[in-house]
Amino acid sequence: MEYLFLFLFSFLALIIGLIKPSIVIRWGENKNRKNVLKYYGLSIIVFFILFAITVPGLKVEDHIENAREHMKKNEYKRAISDYQDAFENWEEGNNYSFTRDEIKNEFNNASKKYSSNLINQAQTAFEDENLDKAENKINEAIEYWPSHNRITELKAKITKAMKKKEADKYLDQAAEYIEENKIEKASEEITKASELINNYSRITILKNKNKAKFQSLANDKLSKAEKELDNWNLDQAEKYITSAEDLLSNNSRIQNLKDKLSERKNIIDEIGPKPKNSEWDAAVKPVTDYLKTHLKDPDSVEYIEWSPVHLSYVGGQPYWRVRTKYRAKNSFGGYVIEEKLFYMIDKQVVGVEKY
């Protein structure tokens, strides 16, 4: 209590000193307001801190009594806080008039009652279409009573409603893009909505109403997918197919391309990705690496011609095949021209034959 007295004394001295500094500063020559603020302002801060850290906290019994009073007033969150404070200050071996298990039961009861209140508030907010508030309340309720039988169902309803609300925003934007004839952008918004809600009737209606526009866009994407498949760019081809599938359903062309994509994926799983011709000179690295270790004079090689890499079957086994024409020194030091076919699996040459 002495720190409280010193705090109050310093505060009073500060007020008086700001009016007449000479009353509270009895030393030195500079009896001014600046020194009053310096001396007594600092004293106020120091004594307040000392008072705060020396004030005895509430006892466990006090927290329990407060918690029970809050429960009588249906102030469940305050009761929970007091019960938690009681547990934090609990001293084992102390002869309390109640057991820890008794207080734990009271705490659980407060948590359940508070959770039930939150669930009711979430239900009301949901019915009022205040979904953000409903979500906040149900999430808080989960913290206090995760196993409440109403939580799962109400949480699912809130989540579904929020997804629908977000999907509707995307579809509103898609409708605007369609009016502006920006079909590609409209398609992107519809895809976002589809990812949130499967088989949403509004998506179907929007597609059917603008079927011709989406058909044209889908055909363009499928043409691009065919080109990528021919170049064995399977990831890009799959993106185009998926995008077209979002626009059209039960389309035979889409199914054919999906089958072709699956087929090519299986081939790559078996023999590895397609080796690429260099953009600079059309060379194929597995072949040039192979020749470096198999020619009599690897440094003498000069490549004349490269074919594109193709898929080839030999005896039912798939290979990547490329033809190259090159000139190199033989064992006698003279240049000879060779033209050969190279067969590759997993970017390694596994077979060679003359063309």
| Tens-place pLDDT, residues 138-152 | 999 999 999 999 999
CB-count exposure of residue 37 (10 Å: 0-12, 13-18, 19+): middle
Question: Coil, strand or helix: which one is 76?
Answer: helix
Fold type of domain 168-271: 1.25.40
Q: What is d(CA 193, CA 205) in angstroms, rounded to the nearest whole number?
A: 13
Alpha helices in the chain (DSSP H): 2-19, 21-24, 33-54, 60-72, 76-88, 100-127, 131-144, 151-179, 183-196, 201-209, 211-230, 234-247, 252-271, 285-294
Confidence at 288, pLDDT banded by 50, 70, 90:
very high
Residue 198: pLDDT above 90?
A: no
Bigger pLDDT: 245 vs 156: 156
Enumerate the β-bridge partners of residue 324: 306, 340
Q: What is d(CA 317, CA 147) in angstroms, rounded to the nearest whole number?
A: 58
pLDDT, average across residues 64-81: 94
- What angle in degrees, to the nearest 10, is found between the helix axes of 211-230 and 183-196? 90
Cβ atoms < 10 Å from Cβ of 158? 21
State residue 196's pLDDT score: 93
Domain extents for the chain?
2-54, 60-148, 168-271, 285-354
What predicted TM-score, i.e. pTM, was given to this entire model? 0.57
Q: What is d(CA 82, CA 320) in angstroms, rounded to the nearest whole number?
A: 74
Confidence at 57, pLDDT banded by 50, 70, 90:
very low
Cβ atoms < 10 Å from Cβ of 286? 20
- Tell me which residue has tokens 């206090």: 144
Whole-number Cα distances in Å, 290 to 146, 284, 324, 334: 64, 10, 13, 21
Beta strands at 302-306 and 310-314: parallel, antiparallel or unpaired:
unpaired
pLDDT, average across residues 224-248: 91
